[in-house]
Amino acid sequence: MFTGIVTEVGEIIATEERAEGLRRLTVACAYDPASIAIGASICCSGVCMTVVSAGKNSFSVDAAAETLAVTTVGRWRKGRRVNLERSLKIGDELGGHLVSGHVDGLAELIARENLTDMARFTLRVPKPLARFIAQKGSVALDGVSLTVNELSDDTFSVLIIPHTLAVTTLGALKQGDRLNLEVDVMARYAARLMETR
């Protein structure tokens, strides 16, 4: 589990096709390599990935066919910057909301309004996911915990504060970009409970 509070922005420094439908990605970061255990989970721009090797100032993860097909990972190339978050430990501060790193779909940035030191993003989501998004509720976009401001049919808006623009990859986004979307896990379970009644 994660919180959606990005602790580092890493960079893809290598990609390698390992087998059909399996790609290894190496991510440069400032995490202490001694603290990265093989098998640990690191959220990479909203995708929970398992560390398969760690080196000096980098770690590697494998992305399987499903991940490559349904997230933005399939388009990641050398030089791509990614939001990173280490998994929660018992006793850690829960600053954002509970995030699993299991991407529900892709959100498209359809409008960006630059305000004084801030930005307002309007995003379109696949219609089946829209029912899980609520005004003042939480979403994770590329691994960043955000609060939904306005909601209309299959679009919603979020306000990106100066700190988030500065310390995540969101500041570089432009209209037409796609982001990994994870809806609030509580909304998903509430909808499932309603369906089974």
Bridge-based pairing of strands 138-141 and 81-86 is: unpaired
Q: Give the mean pLDDT of 87-110.
A: 92
Answer yes or no: is pLDDT of 187 > 80.
Answer: no
H or E segment and range at residue 149: strand 144-152
pLDDT tens digits, one per residue of 45-95: 999 999 999 998 999 999 999 999 999 999 999 999 999 999 998 888 888
For residues 173 and 109, is the Cβ–Cβ distance under 8 A?
yes
Q: What is the mean pLDDT of residues 7-23?
A: 95
Torsion on CA atoms 161, 150, 6, 16, rounded to nearest 10: -120
Q: Which residue has the higher pLDDT, 30 or 186?
A: 30
According to the model, what pLDDT value does residue 170 have? 98
Least Cα distance to 6 among 26, 35, 31 occurs for 31
For the segment 10-22, the average pLDDT, to the nearest whole number, is: 94
Asked if residues 55 and 33 have their Cβ atoms less than 8 Å apart, the reply is: yes
> 102: which DSSP letter?
-
- Of the chain, the percentage scoring pLDDT greater than 90 comes to 83
Spatial distance between the Cα atoms of 96 and 145, rounded to a whole number of angstroms: 6
> Which CA distances in Å does 69 have to 21, 74, 75, 99?
9, 6, 9, 21
For residue 87, the model assigns a pLDDT of 95
pLDDT at residue number 33 = 87
For residue 194, is pLDDT > 80? Answer: no
End-to-end Cα separation, the chain, in angstroms: 28
Q: Which domains are seen in the chain, by residue range?
A: 8-86 (2.40.30.20), 105-196 (2.40.30.20)
- The pTM (predicted TM-score) of the whole model is 0.93
Q: What is the mean pLDDT of residues 87-109?
A: 91
Residue 3 pLDDT level (bands cut at 50, 70, 90): very high
